[in-house]
C-alpha cells in the first residue's frame, strides 16, 4: 500500500524520514507471521502500529486483542493469558480460557512487555517457539496459532543486564524491530499535529478552531514533549477550551506549559542591541558567576597595587607601633628601620605597652547566587523604569520567568 494512502487510512500525520521508515517496515512485515517488537517512548502511538500490522495481515478477519502487561497483577497474569482449571487456586470456581486460546488464529498485542514477570516470560517463550501452552492447574498441553506483537518504552537490553528480562525471549520477540520516533524527532510535524487536534476538537464541539502565531509556534518546537503525541493532543484540547483568544501568542501558550519543563524553553524575545541573551536560567547563573570571578580578580589586582605602593622590601606579618607626642604614629617592624606614617591624631595610650596589629585581610565579596540575581533584576527594573518586558530583554530571560523572580524576591514595588 502507498504510504500516503496508509497515513490517510489510519489518520497518521507527518512526513519525517524516521516515521516513513517505521511505516514502511510495518507494511512489509504485516503479511507474514513473524513476531514484531515495537519500541518507542510513551505516547508515540505504538498500539496504532500493532493494529495496522494486524489489519494488513491475512489474520485481519480474526480477533485482535491488546493486553497491558503492567496492568495485570503478577499473581493472575498467567491465568489471564493461558487460562486456568477449576480449583487450581483460591477463587478459581470455574475453568477459564486464556487470551492465547480465545484469540487463536488472530493477533495478540502485548504492551509494556518489560513488566511481564519472569515466570510468565518462560511460558510465553514456549508459545512462541512451539505454539504450545498449559493452563494453570492443568496437565494437558494445548495448541494455539497466535501472532504476537510486543511493545515497550524501556531498553530491554538494560533489563536483561539486571536480570529482569529473559535474553532468549528478547531475541525471539525481536525478529522484526520497529522504532516509532518520538515527537522531538519529528519537530516539523508538531504544528501540523497541533492544528489537526484543534480542528478535530472544534468540529466535535462546533466551535471555531484556535490558531498559533509565529512566536507560539516556536514555543511548540522548543518544548521537550515528554508525553509525545498524547501530551500534544491534551494540550491542544486544553487551550481550545481555556484560551481567551482565537490566535494564541507565546505568552498565552506558556500559561499552559508545565512549570517543571519551562527551563527547557529559550527566551522568547529577541535580544536586539541589549547584549548577550541566555538559553535558560542556568546559563544566566553561569554568566553571573563568571562576572563575579572577574570582579574578584580585579579587586585583588587593585588591592595588590595599593599594597605595592606602601610595602617595604621585607614582608612582615605582625607590626608594633607607638604613638608620638605630636599625635603621629611610629611603626616599628621587628628590628628593621622604622617607617614613619603620618595619621590623624589618636587618643593617648600607654606608650610603654605595644599594640599588635594583625595582618590585614581583604573583605570577601558575597558569592550568593540568589543575591546577585536579585541585584541584577533590581538594576534592570530601575534602568527600564519598571517596564518588565524591556527588563526581561536586558536580562536575557523570558518575561514569564522575570514575573516569577519579581514575586520571589518581593520586587513588585519597583
φ and ψ at residue 236, rounded to 5 degrees? -60, -40
**160 and 250 co-located in one domain:** no
**41 and 149 co-located in one domain:** yes
What's the 3-state SS for 12-36?
Answer: CCCCCHHHHHHHHHHHHHCCCCCCE
* Residue 132: predicted pLDDT: 95
Q: In the numeric block, which cell numbers belong to residue 314?
A: 621585607
Of the residues 156, 181, 206, which one is the last residue of a structural domain?
181
* Residue 282: predicted pLDDT: 59
What digits encode the pLDDT tens for the residues 261-317? 544 444 444 444 444 444 455 566 667 776 777 777 777 777 777 766 655 444 444
How far apart are alpha carbons 89 and 81 in whole angstroms? 16
How far apart are alpha carbons 40 and 247 in whole angstroms? 33
Q: What is the pTM of this model?
A: 0.62
Q: Which domain holds residue 258?
A: 184-264
**166 and 228 co-located in one domain:** no
Separation in Å, CA 218 to CA 128, 187, 190: 47, 10, 10
Q: Report the domain count for the chain.
A: 2
**49 and 173 co-located in one domain:** yes
* Residue 201: predicted pLDDT: 93
* Residue 371: predicted pLDDT: 81
* Residue 77: predicted pLDDT: 94
How far apart are alpha carbons 48 and 143 in whole angstroms? 28
Of the residues 236, 264, 292, which one is the last residue of a structural domain?
264
What digits encode the pLDDT tens for the residues 189-223? 999 999 999 999 999 988 889 999 999 999 999 99
Average per-residue pLDDT for the chain? 81
How far apart are alpha carbons 254 and 44 in whole angstroms? 23
Residue 397 located in a structural domain: no
Q: Which CATH number fits the domain that encloses residue 192? A: 1.10.8.60
* Residue 345: predicted pLDDT: 53
**19 and 168 co-located in one domain:** yes
Residue 376 located in a structural domain: no
**119 and 232 co-located in one domain:** no
* Residue 384: predicted pLDDT: 85
- Rounded to 10°, the helix 17-29/3-10 angle is 90
Residue 340 located in a structural domain: no
Q: Which residues of the chain have pLDDT under 50?
A: 260, 262-279, 312-322, 324-325, 328-343, 346, 349, 355-363
* Residue 381: predicted pLDDT: 85
**196 and 54 co-located in one domain:** no
Separation in Å, CA 29 to CA 3, 58, 297, 304: 14, 11, 66, 76
What digits encode the pLDDT tens for the residues 350-372? 555 554 444 444 445 556 777 88
* Residue 390: predicted pLDDT: 85
How far apart are alpha carbons 3 and 15 in whole angstroms? 10
Of the residues 152, 181, 210, which one is the last residue of a structural domain?
181
Residue 356 located in a structural domain: no
**71 and 207 co-located in one domain:** no
* Residue 364: predicted pLDDT: 53
Amino acid at each position: 500500500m502507498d504510504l500516503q494512502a496508509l497515513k490517510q487510512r489510519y489518520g497518521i500525520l507527518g512526513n519525517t524520514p524516521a516515521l516513513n521508515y517505521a511505516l514502511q517496515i510495518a507494511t512489509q512485515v504485516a503479511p507474514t507471521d513473524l513476531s514484531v517488537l515495537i519500541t518507542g517512548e510513551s505516547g508515540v502511538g505504538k498500539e496504532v502500529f500493532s493494529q495496522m500490522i494486524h489489519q494488513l495481515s491475512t489474520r485481519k478477519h480474526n480477533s485482535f486483542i491488546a493486553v497491558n502487561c503492567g496492568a495485570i497483577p503478577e499473581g493472575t497474569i498467567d491465568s489471564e493469558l493461558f487460562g486456568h482449571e477449576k480449583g487450581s487456586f483460591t477463587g478459581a470456581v470455574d475453568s477459564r480460557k486464556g487470551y492465547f486460546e480465545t484469540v487463536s488464529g488472530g493477533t495478540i498485542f502485548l504492551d509494556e512487555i518489560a513488566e511481564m514477570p519472569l515466570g510468565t516470560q518462560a511460558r510465553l517463550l514456549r508459545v512462541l517457539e512451539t505454539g504450545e501452552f498449559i493452563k494453570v492447574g492443568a496437565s494437558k498441553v494445548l495448541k494455539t496459532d497466535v501472532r504476537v506483537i510486543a511493545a515497550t518504552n524501556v531498553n530491554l537490553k538494560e533489563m536483561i543486564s539486571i536480570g529482569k528480562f529473559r535474553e532468549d525471549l528478547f531475541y525471539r520477540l525481536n525478529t522484526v524491530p520497529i522504532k516509532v520516533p518520538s515527537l522531538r524527532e519529528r519537530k516539523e510535524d508538531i504544528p501540523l499535529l497541533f492544528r489537526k487536534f484543534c480542528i478535530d476538537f472544534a468540529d466535535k464541539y462546533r466551535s471555531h478552531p484556535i490558531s498559533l502565531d509565529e512566536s507560539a509556534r516556536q514555543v511548540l518546537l522548543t518544548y521537550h514533549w515528554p508525553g509525545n503525541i498524547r501530551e500534544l493532543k491534551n494540550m491542544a484540547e486544553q487551550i481550545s477550551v481555556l484560551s481567551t483568544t482565537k490566535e494564541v501568542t507565546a505568552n498565552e501558550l506558556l500559561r499552559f506549559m508545565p512549570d517543571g519543563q519551562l527551563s527547557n524553553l529559550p527566551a522568547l524575545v529577541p535580544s536586539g542591541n541589549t547584549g548577550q541573551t541566555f538559553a535558560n536560567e542556568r546559563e544566566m547563573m553561569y554568566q553571573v558567576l563568571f562576572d563575579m570571578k572577574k570582579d574578584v580578580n580585579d579587586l585583588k589586582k587593585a588591592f595588590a597595587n595599593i599594597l605595592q605602593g606602601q610595602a617595604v622590601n621585607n614582608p612582615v606579618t605582625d607590626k608594633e607601633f607607638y604613638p608620638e607626642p605630636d599625635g603621629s604614629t611610629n611603626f616599628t617592624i621587628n628590628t628593621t628601620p622604622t617607617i614613619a606614617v603620618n595619621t590623624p591624631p589618636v587618643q593617648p595610650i600607654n606608650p610603654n605597652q605595644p599594640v599588635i596589629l594583625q595582618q590585614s585581610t581583604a573583605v570577601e565579596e558575597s558569592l550568593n547566587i540568589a543575591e546577585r540575581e536579585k541585584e541584577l533584576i533590581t538594576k534592570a527594573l530601575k534602568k527600564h523604569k519598571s517596564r518588565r518586558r524591556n527588563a526581561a530583554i536586558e536580562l536575557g530571560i523570558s518575561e514569564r520567568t522575570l514575573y516569577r523572580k519579581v514575586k520571589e524576591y518581593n520586587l513588585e514595588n519597583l
